[in-house]
Amino acid sequence: MAGAASWNSLALKSPPAVPASQRRGRRPSAAAPGVVAAAGGRQPFSSPVPLLTSRPKTRRDLPFRLRAAAGDEDYEDEWGKEGAAAEESAVAVAEGEEKAGEVGELKKKLKELLYGTDRGLKASSETRAEILELITQLEAKNPTPEPTDALPLLNGKWILAYTSFSQLFPLLGSGRLPPLVKVEEISQTIDSENFTVQNSVQFTGPLATTSVSTNAKFEVRSPKRVQIKFEEGIIGTPQLTDSIVIPDKVEFLGQNIDLSPFKGIFTSIQNAASSVAKTISGQPPLKIPISNSNAQSWLLTTYLDDELRISRGDGNSVFVLIKEGSSLLSENRDLNP
């Protein structure tokens, strides 16, 4: 009996019945944490991991932070800035490529217009207007807005391809030159380390070439402007060229003339001229000091890259110069045939 009594004291009792009138519309209460349903009633259950019954007030209440969680301001700020920077970089690269393509097309058109103009001497007024328009467009896309702050780009030898400087035209027209002598090249060589500039005109004749140059110093006066002061003129010694090749026949007034009987005479004259040229070429160049205080000029560089330079001088004269060795000089055909 005692055992039965003990057993009855441990028996599970059913919850008291709830009247129907009270059950109507009544919602079951939420189970307390750690309580699970068991057959025939409810028993306390101790879970090894506490059950999350309410949402943390902030993400900081979590044992760790999900960096990719929606609304994480630090995450969004970090990746937002990196994304914006990457987008800006991509846009800058695309704009740079587009601008480089446009500049390349402008330079190509400029070269085509310059061909056959003999540095501007033979350019018609219409061609000059078109050249000036292209120059203006290139100046608007100048990749080096402050050329005097990029002196290494100015270094080297620049070949004159075009100018509107009218004082050069009598020289280019060969009206003041001896017969058979022509202007082969006009160049400007800049040494930015020593702040020197040399302007040179090279002449060619039947057997030799020579040059007339001026040496000058320059000072930087603004991001685009330099002041030039000439110090001396130099007349170079003649340099021998290859021998003249005399053809067997020439056409004159519709008739073919045989020159073979005259080859001996031409050869004798050529040998005598070569001997004189060799004697002269052994002499040092003639230097003439320039002491005139007014022997100064200024130059404004309005476009500069690694192969093309555009400058403006006194009287709004314009100069287009191409770097020695550039494809703008060597591709397809010479600018000054």
Residue 174 falls inside a structural domain: yes
Q: Is residue 287 part of a domain?
A: yes
Domain of 207 in residue numbering reads as 104-325
Is residue 40 domain-resident? Answer: no
Assign 255 a pLDDT band (cuts: 50, 70, 90).
Answer: low
Which whole number is the average pLDDT over 13-33? 49
Helix (H, G, I), strand (E, B) or coil at 154: helix
> 219 lies in a domain?
yes
Q: Give tens-digit pLDDT for 120-163.
A: 988 999 999 999 999 999 999 999 999 999 989 999 999 999 99
Residue 286 lies in a domain: yes
CATH of the domain at 200: 2.40.128
Mean per-residue pLDDT, 268-289? 70
pTM as predicted: 0.61
Strand runs (DSSP E) across the chain, as ranges? 35-38, 41-44, 156-163, 182-191, 196-204, 208-220, 225-235, 239-240, 249-252, 255-258, 286-289, 296-304, 308-312, 318-323
169-195 residue pLDDT tens: 767 665 556 666 788 899 999 999 999
In contact, 127 and 117? CB cutoff 8 Å: yes
Q: Which of 200, 203, 268 is nearest to 241 (CA)?
A: 203
Q: Does residue 203 lie within any of the structural domains?
A: yes
DSSP state of 2: H
SS3 79: helix
| For helices 73-114 and 125-140, angle between their N-to-C axes, nearest 10 degrees | 160
* Domain tally, the chain: 1
- Please state which of the ranges 59-73, 84-98, 255-269 shows the lowest mean pLDDT: 59-73
Please tell me the distance from the alpha carbon of residue 120 to that of residue 318, in angstroms, as a whole number.
Answer: 10
